[in-house]
Amino acid sequence: MASDVQEPTTTYDEEASPYGELRLDLPALTALLDGDYAEIRAKVREGLVEYASVLEDAETMTRDEFRERVKDVVLELAATGQTGMGFPEEYGGGGDIGASIAAFETLGFGDLSVLVKVGVQFGLFGGAILQLGTKRHHDAYLAGLVKGEILGCFAMTETGHGSNVQALGTTATYDPETQEFVIQTGSPAATKDYIGNAAKHAQLAAVFAQLVVGGERHGVHALVVPIREGDTVLPGITITDDGPKMGLNGVDNGRIRFDGVRVPRDALLDQFAQVTEDGQYVSEIDNANRRFFTMLGTLVQGRVCVGAAGISAAKVALTIAVEYGLRRRQFEATQDDREEILLDYGMHQRRLFPLLARTYALHFGQQVLTTQLHDIFSGVNTDELARRQLESRAAGTKALATWHATRTIQECREACGGAGYLSENRFTALKADTDVFTTFEGDNHVLLQLVAKGLLTDYASDFEDLDQFGMVRFVAGLAVETVLERSRAHKLLEGLRDAFGSDKWDQDTGLLDPNYHRAMLEFREEHMIGGVARRLKRGIDAGMNPGEVFSRVQDHVVAAARAHVERLVLDAFLDAVAEQPDGDLKTVLNLVCDLHALSSIEADRAWFMEHGRLTSQRSKAISREVNELCRRMRPVAGDLVRAFGVPREMLRSEALLSWGEE
- Closest distance of CB 351 from a copy of itself, Å: 8
Nearest-5° angle of CA 118, CA 119, CA 120?
Answer: 95
| 470 near a copy of itself, judged by CB under 8 A | yes
- Closest distance of CB 547 from a copy of itself, Å: 3
Q: Looking only at residues 91 through 150 of this chain, which bind a copy of itself when binding is defined by CB under 8 A?
A: none
The region of 205-213, 237-245, 505-513, 578-586 touching a copy of itself under the rule CB under 8 A is 237-245
Query: Which of helix, strand or coil describes residue 618?
Result: helix
By CB under 8 A, name the one of 13, 15, 277, 336 that touches a copy of itself.
336
Nearer to a copy of itself, 163 or 389 (CB): 163
Nearer to a copy of itself, 231 or 542 (CB): 542
By CB under 8 A, name the one of 178, 552, 575, 648 that touches a copy of itself.
552
* Rounded CA separation 574/427 (Å): 31
User: Please, are residues 108 and 308 in contact by the beta-carbon 8 Å criterion?
Assistant: yes
Residue 592's φ and ψ, nearest 5 degrees, are -65, -40
The region of 285-293, 455-463, 580-588, 601-609 touching a copy of itself under the rule CB under 8 A is 601-609
| 155 near a copy of itself, judged by CB under 8 A | no
The b/e string for 411-432 (b: 16+ C-beta within 10 A; e otherwise) is bbbebbeebbeeeebbbbbbbb
Nearer to a copy of itself, 282 or 421 (CB): 421
| 53 near a copy of itself, judged by CB under 8 A | no
Strand partners, 181: 174, 263
Nearer to a copy of itself, 348 or 642 (CB): 348
- Closest distance of CB 14 from a copy of itself, Å: 16
**What letter does residue 85 receive in the DSSP assignment?**
T
By CB under 8 A, name the one of 420, 454, 514, 638 that touches a copy of itself.
420
Nearer to a copy of itself, 216 or 337 (CB): 337
| 245 near a copy of itself, judged by CB under 8 A | yes
Query: Which of helix, strand or coil describes residue 134?
Result: coil
User: Please, are residues 179 and 278 in contact by the beta-carbon 8 Å criterion?
Assistant: no
- Closest distance of CB 426 from a copy of itself, Å: 10
User: Please, are residues 343 and 637 in contact by the beta-carbon 8 Å criterion?
Assistant: yes
By CB under 8 A, name the one of 18, 214, 417, 583 that touches a copy of itself.
417
By CB under 8 A, name the one of 340, 391, 566, 639 that touches a copy of itself.
340
| 605 near a copy of itself, judged by CB under 8 A | yes
* Rounded CA separation 469/474 (Å): 9
User: Please, are residues 325 and 654 in contact by the beta-carbon 8 Å criterion?
Assistant: no
| 606 near a copy of itself, judged by CB under 8 A | yes
In what helix (H) or strand (E) does residue 474 lie, and over which residues does it extend?
helix 472-474
By CB under 8 A, name the one of 271, 609, 647, 649 that touches a copy of itself.
609
- Closest distance of CB 187 from a copy of itself, Å: 7
Q: Looking only at residues 73 through 102 of this chain, which bind a copy of itself when binding is defined by CB under 8 A?
A: none
Four-CA torsion 163, 167, 168, 172, nearest 10 degrees: 150
* Rounded CA separation 605/407 (Å): 20
Q: Looking only at residues 354 through 413 of this chain, which bind a copy of itself when binding is defined by CB under 8 A?
A: 406, 410, 413
Query: Which of helix, strand or coil describes residue 376?
Result: helix
| 422 near a copy of itself, judged by CB under 8 A | yes
The region of 111-119, 241-249, 260-268, 642-650 touching a copy of itself under the rule CB under 8 A is 241-249
By CB under 8 A, name the one of 53, 80, 238, 334 that touches a copy of itself.
334
Q: Looking only at residues 430 through 449 of this chain, which bind a copy of itself when binding is defined by CB under 8 A?
A: 431-432, 435-436, 438-440, 443-445
Q: What is the 3-class SS of 165-190, one letter each residue?
A: HHHCCCEEEEECCCCEEEEECCCHHH
| 555 near a copy of itself, judged by CB under 8 A | yes
| 421 near a copy of itself, judged by CB under 8 A | yes
Nearer to a copy of itself, 350 or 488 (CB): 350
| 599 near a copy of itself, judged by CB under 8 A | no
| H helix intervals, 331-383 | 346-377
- Return the closest-CA partner of residue 632 out of 5, 8, 2, 3: 8
| 217 near a copy of itself, judged by CB under 8 A | no
By CB under 8 A, name the one of 66, 125, 141, 194 that touches a copy of itself.
194
Neighbours of 80 (CB within 10 A): 13
* Rounded CA separation 270/282 (Å): 10
Query: Which of helix, strand or coil describes residue 1?
Result: coil
The b/e string for 644-662 (b: 16+ C-beta within 10 A; e otherwise) is bbbbebbbbbeebbebbee
The region of 119-127, 154-162, 231-239, 521-529 touching a copy of itself under the rule CB under 8 A is 154-162
As a whole number of Å, the CA-based R_g of the chain is 26
By CB under 8 A, name the one of 154, 353, 377, 474 that touches a copy of itself.
474
